[in-house]
Structures are given as C-alpha cells and as structure tokens.
Structure 1
Amino acid sequence: MKSKLFKLTKTHIYIFGILANVIPLIGLAVLGWDNFSNLNKFQLWAWIAGAIYYVFMWTVALSLWNKLDNAKKETIKSLEKIAELEKRIENLEK
C-alpha cells in the first residue's frame, strides 16, 4: 500500500464513480423530469439509491484503507523500537 499508484487508484476509483453517477443527473437536467416515463422514473430512483450506496461504501473503504495504513506504520515503528531495545539488551549483557 506504499506505492503512489495504489493511492492514486483509490482516489481515482472514488472520483470516477462519482462522475459516473453525476452524468445521468446532467442528462436529467437537460431532458427535464416530464420527458421520463414512470418506468424511467423508478429506474432513476433506483439509480439515485445506488449512487448514494456507492459513495457511502467507497467512503467506508477509503477510511478503512487509511486506518490500515496508519496501523501498518505504527506496527513498523513498534518493531523498530523492539529491535533497538534488543540491541541495548545485548550490549548490556556484554
């Protein structure tokens, strides 16, 4: 997870998902609500629910990735401190 490519990919997935959900809204604004049949209106509401779910789930996923990155950094720091303490103990035993 250290690579810049992975971090860019996470952000790009989130941004492209939002754009994919915004483009139909632009079409709705251009065509107008009255030009949609009832079936299309139900599909539109389903799409809106899906868009909200998509944004929510990616927000959760990104926050979990950030927590995982932070936990990994803390673990590495702890392991480095343990290694330093082991070296001190070895020096004291000599």
Structure 2
Amino acid sequence: MVINSASIDDDCLKINYSSSGCSGDSWEVKLIDAGVIMESFPPQRNIKLSLKNEEICEAYFTKEISFDIDKLQVDGEVVLLNLEGFDTQIRYEY
C-alpha cells in the first residue's frame, strides 16, 4: 500500500491510497491510533492506515477514504498527526 496524500477537512482525515488487487471491493481499511500522546508543543499522535487486502491480482487501484478524527483531539487547539508511511506531519486544528 502507498499513501499518496492526506488532508484534514473539518474533523475528518482524508487519505488517498493505492494498492494492487483485483477490484479493491474486498479491502478492509482501518485507521489505528497508537494511543499515546507525545509531550511536545503542539502535542503529537502516531496513527497508521491498516489495509487488509487478500486480493491476488496485478491491477493497481487508487482510493480515497475519510475518517472522523474528533476523538484524537487533546487539550489545546491543535495536534500533529504522524501517519505511518506518509512523510509530512498532518496539522489538525479544532
């Protein structure tokens, strides 16, 4: 799986990703939070996109998915999200 882009829209994290498969219809995608708030300013959280893909084909698909992330808010007005496999920190302001 390759993460092509990630952005915040209100309280939603939109992730554009690609992977090989037959159609992508059976993919199971989850956003997983490490459950740890790093003590920095602003605070940071580590998250990752989990893709269960059992399709065995050489076709390559790109999809976009959106997750409600309001539960990732911490004290203050901003948290930086470190998405595994994506080189840029995501600034979530609320």
Query: TM class, shorter-chain normalised?
Result: under 0.3
TM-score (norm 2): 0.20
Question: Which protein has the larger Cα radius of gyration, Structure 1 or Structure 2?
Answer: 1
Could you say which structure has the higher helix fraction?
Answer: 1
Which has a greater percent of strand? 2
